[in-house]
Structure 1
Amino acid sequence: MSAALLIIDMQVGLFHGPEKPYQGDRVLANIQRLVAQARTNQVPIFAVRHTGPQGSPIAAGSPFWQLLPALELDAEIDTLFDKFRPNAFHGTDLARQLLAAQVEELYVVGMKSQFCIDSTCRSAADLGFTPLLVADAHTCMDTAGLSAEAIIKHHNATLGAAFARLVDSSEVTF
């Protein structure tokens, strides 16, 4: 079974913005390990940037829009693409590219748990892929209604119950 790693919205402006992601350093380290493991095992890496309208902090090409340099992604070998909606499949070529690469299992990591991680996992399952949500490699920020910790636990439980298979980063074997 062919697998791919999908990194969602690990962007300078979201990660290093005024609101810090919950356990951001730990999540980033887990994703970095998964990137290294994917490279070692020649597993394709897809990384998506959320793109805001011109003039917004995450407009295409702006400093905050860039993917985190710490991920050491390479446009020559990795597939980097942009999205304008929370669902990484909506309005993008992601499904077509995964099908062309014969990917069945999609390891999902990144930000934000309650928006882009959630909608992408649900959509991946609806499209016939097997999403594997890496439970300790996605994050978000506190909200007025819930702490980031509660949001992440809730999404792991909800997505893991019906839409994705939950795995910890230490259990990933590409």
Structure 2
Amino acid sequence: MKSALLCIDLQHLCAVRGEGIFAAGDNCRFSNEEQEYFFDRLDNETLPNVQKLQAIFRDKGIEVLHIRTRTKTRDGRERTFWQKRAELLATPGSRESEFIDSVIPRGDELIINKTGSGPFGNTNIHALLVQLDVQQIYCCGVHTNTSIESTIRAAADYGYCPVLVSDATATVSQAQQDNCVERLDGQCCEVIQTAKLVEDFKHHLRSVG
């Protein structure tokens, strides 16, 4: 079964302190406690694990896809109702649309720009995965209970075999993280930890080397 790694919303809009949805001011919908939890997990667990995943997938020659929230238009008029309501806006060339440096795309890795919570239904990701002959997708990034959950549920409905790399994801509380993983596990995806996945890949490389 051919695989791909999907790195989701690892950009300034969604995962950088003081920017995008975490911008300071009255409009920030996340409490200080939620932000501290999120960025502690992101910096010390999620991003280091995403780096490990990207490294092993690249070494093995498996596709690494980067999915981000970014509009086609300058005013974002093609966004979903819910993105407009949440004031999620990352336009072409904006800082909000830029990837986090530590997990930035390399070479000619594919970038998919979405205007909804997940990419299915508002991008060509399904056609692209069919062209790449991919049946199994490993999902990492942010936020576990929104973009990642939407991606996994839609992928399962489209006939893919999604895998959630749970410790390579993050959201704003441990309760939301745990509840989301519990909802998804065994219902529309498998759940795995980064170390186990990396070890499995290394073992496979040794066995076929």
TM-score, normalised with respect to structure 2: 0.75
1:8 corresponds to: 8
Within the candidate set 49, 55, 63, 1:30 is matched to 49
Residue 63 (structure 1) aligned with residue 76 (structure 2): no
Letter paired with 2:185: G
Aligned CA distance change for structure 1 residues 115 and 31 (closer, same or farther; 3 Å):
same
Q: CA RMSD in A?
A: 1.7
1:43 CA drift (Å): 0.5
Shift of residue 16, structure 1, vs aligned partner: 1.2
Q: 1:54 aligns with which of 67, 74, 92?
A: 74
Distance in 1 separating the partners of 2:122 and 2:12: 23
Q: Write the letter of the residue equivalent to 2:74.
A: Q
2:174 matched to 1:149?
yes
Q: Which runs of 5+ in 1 are unaligned?
A: 142-147
1:119 and 2:150 correspond: yes
Tell me whether 55-64 or 122-131 shows the greater mean CA deviation: 55-64
Decide which structure has the larger Cα Rg and report it. 2
Q: Name 1:144's counterpart in structure 2.
A: none
**Out of 126, 139, 158, which is 2:183 matched to?**
158
How far residue 57 of structure 1 moved from its aligned partner, in angstroms, is 5.4
Asked if structure 2 preserves the Cα contact closer than 8 Å seen for 1:114 and 1:152, the reply is: yes
Q: How many residues align?
A: 167
Amino acid at match of 1:153: D
CA distance in 1, matches of 2:120, 2:103: 22
Identity %: 24
Tell me the equivalent position of 1:145.
Answer: none
**Alpha-carbon separation, structure 1, partners of 2:3 and 2:152:** 15
**In structure 1, how many angstroms separate the alpha carbons of the residues matched to 2:104 and 2:154?**
27
In structure 2, how many angstroms separate the alpha carbons of the residues matched to 1:152 and 1:97? 29
| Contact 1:83/1:90 (<8 A) preserved | no
**SS in structure 2 opposite 1:119?**
helix
The answer to whether the 8 Å contact 1:30/1:169 transfers is yes
Distance (whole Å) between structure 1 residues aligned to residue 74 and residue 165 of structure 2: 32
Greater fraction of residues in strand = 1
Gaps in structure 2 of 5+ consecutive residues: 23-34, 76-87, 202-209
Q: Residues of 2 paired with 1:64 and 1:82: CA distance?
A: 13
CA–CA distance in structure 1, aligned partners of residues 121 and 9 of structure 2: 15
Alpha-carbon distance, 1:77 to partner: 2.2
Kept in 1, the 8 Å contact 2:66–2:110? The answer is yes
Q: Which position in structure 2 is the counterpart of 1:171? A: 196
The one-letter amino acid of 1:116's match is S
**C-alpha distance in 1, partners of 2:127/2:103?**
25
| TM-score, normalization by structure 1 | 0.89
Q: Deviations over 1:20-46 (max 9, x none)?
A: 435011100000000000100000011
The structure with the greater share of residues assigned to helix is: 2
